[in-house]
Amino acid sequence: MRIAPSRSRTLRGGTAAVAAAALVALGAVPALAADPEPDLGVGTIAPVKGVQPGSSFSTPLTFLNKGTEEVPSAWVTYSVSPGLKAEETHENCTYYTIGSYDEMPASNVASCKIDQPLKPGVVYGTAKPVSLKALDSAFRDNLRVSIGVHEPGPDDGGSTEPVPGTGDPLTLVEKGPATDADRTNHPEAYARADVTAANTADFALTGDEKRGKVGEKVTATVKFANKGPARVQGLPDQSVTTVDIHIPKGTSVVKPYDFCEVITKTHYRCGTSQSWVDVNGGESYPFVLRIDKAVGRTTGEVSFTGQERPFDRNAGNDTAQIVIDTGKDEGTAGSSGSNGSSGSTGGSSSTGGSGSTGSTSTTGSTGTSGGAADTGGSTTGGATPQTGGNLAATGSDSTGPLIGMAAAAVAAGGGILWAVRRRSAAQGG
């Protein structure tokens, strides 16, 4: 499912419309027909594999004027994902970073003015390969190259201030007349190649611990973090990973995290807000829980699910727990009394009489009130009704009828990701 265009795009479109109207009002006469754009192509770029973080590598680039007219000059732009940067700069290029926006991650860009003519039907290549460096965070990265006759802009992501290069200019040299194979190998004015580095990333989960009494609400927050050293780019339009959160027994969910899928009443599955996660980035998943029953310290398990993570070699932090200290179940403790008389008195509670008076809990006849609680007299004895606790117990993950619901949620896949973005866009707007 696609998300709506960003607010910045809408605003820019509106600004352009106003500007066009202003030109008409001033008597500007638009051209009846624009000159056709030159037909330029970028050669297919071979993938780069096994790069070591911190090392440099280079790749040759080729271009072709597929038209019939000479192009007097051109702009060559190459951009890389955040794990890479330009190793060598050129004096006829400017360098800047475009921030992430919508579903697009950040990118480091080099925009180069090529002040030399490109003859029709001739293949050109860079005088020497473009040199790039893999940063410590390099892992699943990419290189994108384009050619055109107009200076490119930063688009909706905005950019840092362009910095001019200082090295020898980036120039093109003739490689020879284009063959049919060359024309096939330069299909578009844009090309992309994957760059993979031999790196690892440590995905970690952190649970939470809270304390409360029956009837109280607590907020437990589960956290997912990427401890690096690699930044991880996942599949387009899908969560980088998913997290299974199981609610502790004796509690029920008052308000789940908005962007988590319900599997059962005690089991939720949460995704990520983008298809990538930066080093030290991640997600937080707060859940508001109500304590329905005093069962002492109760735990709910948290774990990763979904995509395999062969890059994550530390399994020690792949699971966590939500721990809720619900207090002592006084009724249960009393029924097993510390002395024999207390236990025998509890047995006499089958008449229900001891539960009808609130005095049993204050006179020291704990066993009597405990027996009443076990036989259903807890509501008249002053304790909170246990309907929430019973619901949580019956909604355990082993419940057969709910397995189908879990399968449906798994099939939703990247839908978790887009739900996060839609809600984030709405709140930001």
Measured in residues, the chain has a length of: 429
Q: CATH says 201-328+388-417 is which class?
A: mainly beta
Which range, of 72-81, 311-320, 321-330, averages the lowest pLDDT?
321-330
Question: Is it true that 36-197 and 201-328+388-417 share their CATH fold?
Answer: yes
Q: What is the mean pLDDT of the chain?
A: 77
Burial of 25 (0-12, 13-18, 19+ CB in 10 A): exposed
The answer, yes or no, to whether residue 380 has pLDDT greater than 50, is no
256-309 pLDDT per residue, tens: 998 899 999 999 999 999 999 999 999 999 999 999 999 999 999 999 998 899
124-170 pLDDT per residue, tens: 999 999 999 999 999 999 999 999 999 887 665 568 899 999 999 99
Domain ranges of the chain: 36-197, 201-328+388-417, 330-385
Distance of CA 7 to the CA centre of its chain: 20
Q: What are the CA-CA distances from residue 355 to residues 273, 299, 332 (Å)?
A: 52, 31, 14
Q: For residue 140, report the phi and psi dihedrals to the nearest 5 degrees.
A: -105, 90
Q: CATH says 36-197 is which class?
A: mainly beta
- The mean pLDDT of 23-43, rounded to a whole number, is 63
What is residue 230's predicted lDDT score, i.e. its pLDDT? Answer: 98
